[in-house]
Amino acid sequence: MIFDLLNSFGEYFKDTKVVMDSYRLQNGIYLLFKNDGTHEMLKIDKDTNTTTTLYEYLKIRDFYSNYMDSNKALDTSYIEEYNGKEYKMVKKICSNNQYTLFFKNRFVEGLINDNKETIPVPIFLKGIDKYFDSMISLGKNDRKVTSIMEEIKDIVSSEQEILEKKELLKENFLKAVEIVKDETLTKDIWVKIFLEAEEIEYERATLKYLCTKIFNKNDANIQQNGNLYGINNYNFGYTTAKKPFIELKSTPFKVASKLSLEEIKMVRNLYIWLLKNVSTKDFVKIPVDYNFTSELDKIDIKQKAIYLLRVLNDNGSAKIDDFSFIPFYTNTIREFKCTNCFHTKVNLEESEFVTKDSYELENRVSKIWFANSLKDSYYRFKDIVSKRTMIPNWKKELLKEKATIFFEFFHKANDIPIKQNLDSIAYHITLNNLIDEIKEDKIFHTMKSMNLWFAFDEYFGGDFKMIKNQIYTRSKEVVLQEGTIDSDEMYFFFVGQVVKYLLDKSKASNKTQSMIDSVMKAGTQEKLIHIILLLRDKYSHELRLVNPKFDNILKQIVTDTVEKDVVKNRKYILAGFLENNLFYLKSKKENDTENLDSIV
């Protein structure tokens, strides 16, 4: 993954230009203390003007000054008891050089009403002392970074340059506290203090931190052919404990990659770009020839090789949560045709569409099968879909378990999972829609669900729709002519017809789940026959004494033996239940008799 991205985009991240073009400051309060004793303040929120000189000045210096992540913070582990309470300064400061001091308002007493995590100002000042001690000690007594330190010793800030800023930064911290006290702040607002200095000085100031912290663990660094290589720090967890070869469960790969110092700098720039531009989206598709000169959402990716990325903001650092390479991406699919396959007068317009666009099909599937919640389920099920009150729980559970299958099909051009799971998913949706709707004696959503099932099956080369239509046509003849059931599929179709006919005899104002659930979940023919006979006996008082069409089919269902598996053919039972009931059809002889009676 890392090398794929480097091979495609490494050239763009050898310097900071691409990163800086799209770099945005986090929401918070930014204070610039100038050398003449004055200061400027900039409040950053969604409405901030990002084109001002001050914004550009701070943006560049903010880029150099952020720590990589909380595990790479400079050591500020000062502990002291103060007014009867113990305070700890661990990971309270999030900057990396002598010109800056970054912290959240919740860590400083007086800047927030909630004082659970606040540190008294005198203790925080001692944490700043520790912060400077850590800057001075970077790279010392670490033989694994000796070569790095030797290489950069003349271009980084000296100890004297670092220490001469300590008291000035502490003084301005006290001023900042007084300034920020007058602001109305919510919890977790950044407060960022900057000392005035040229960009080159900021770059020099952060270089030692960067070079000593950029690898995952310096004790794994090696020298080879004059170059330094270390373990990648991004999307990777590494341990030097007694079991360093334990398989990694939390990463998209199982073996650590070693990168050169120059390569890891490029990776860092790339990950900063991902954090600022991609981590706010569910996922992105980046063509391998992307040149970073236009917005991702506005470029044409059809017929191109792409990387599909899901990037998270992992405590202030980018983390690639999903990565796929698709060599020939297109959202154009074979013609997908969905038609209404049921003989009903109910309006089923949503079951009538033709498309070659996978995005349109995705929207249709989301609406018909998943109450417009499919796309939100790919990566945000817990935050969004699970909290929706208008979606039945069974549908939430299905989305939680199966949404990835649809993501693979619609966005990764991988149809294998949906082909393998189509019948089980579609049956579950159709049956549960039927159970929900039958309570109100309405089944049009269920018919829409099955029409989409027919269409998907046909799209993947199946014959479910064709067989069902053939069965319906042939079954009309069998009913009207009191003929013989001639296939197992027709047998199961008639099971659905018989059950629907019997349930129609119920006088209950609301049908219940138990009326249909036991039939649709029967696992053997014997169980089916048993349930049907129970229903017949229950509603026998509503049945006509003589009903040759119904009696003929019921007799065959009870006495015939099927060879095919009941569970695998439940879909024909459902189709039979949803179709117009053939037992209400009248033969030509019956129509002629009625016409004659009306004349007499």
Supply the pLDDT for residue 256: 58
Q: How many angstroms separate the CA atoms of 178 and 290, rounded?
A: 47
CA dihedral 15, 20, 22, 27 (to 10 degrees): 140
Instruction: At 561, give phi and psi (nearest 5°).
Output: -120, 130
Residue 244's pLDDT is what? Answer: 46
Full pLDDT tens readout for the chain, 600 residues: 888 998 899 899 999 999 999 899 999 999 999 999 999 999 999 889 999 999 999 999 999 999 988 888 999 999 999 888 999 999 999 999 999 999 999 999 989 877 788 999 999 999 999 999 999 998 887 777 777 777 788 888 999 999 999 999 999 999 999 999 988 777 789 999 999 999 999 999 999 898 888 877 776 777 777 677 777 767 655 444 444 444 444 555 545 567 888 888 898 899 899 988 888 889 999 999 999 988 888 888 888 999 999 998 887 788 888 889 999 888 999 999 999 999 887 778 888 999 999 999 999 999 999 999 999 999 999 999 999 999 999 999 999 999 999 999 999 989 999 999 999 999 999 999 998 888 777 788 999 999 999 999 999 999 999 999 999 999 999 999 999 999 999 999 999 999 998 888 876 655 666 668 888 889 899 999 999 998 888 877 666 656 788 899 999 999 999 999 999 999 999 999 999 999 988 765 665 455 444 444
Residue environment code for 335-357, b if the CB has 16+ CB neighbours within 10 A, otherwise e = ebebebbbeeeeebebbeeebee
190 has which bridge partners? 28, 104
Which pair of structure tokens corresponds to residue 15?
Answer: 């310097």
Residue 65 has what pLDDT?
95
Backbone angles phi, psi at 194, to 5 degrees: -125, 140
pLDDT, position 222: 76
Q: Are 346 and 580 in contact (CB under 8 A)?
A: no
CB 493 within 8 A of CB 475: yes
pLDDT at 479: 93
H helical segments located in 230-286: 261-277
Contacts of 31 (CB under 8 A, 6+ apart): 39, 40, 41, 172, 176, 179, 191, 192, 193, 194
| Residues 316, 112: Cα–Cα separation, whole Å | 22
Question: Locate tokens 């020939």: which residue?
Answer: 328
The total of other beta-carbon atoms located within 10 Å of residue 492's CB is: 27
Transcribe 453-506 into DSSP letters.
HHHHHHHTT--HHHHHHHHHHHHHHHHHTT----SHHHHHHHHHHHHHHHHTT-
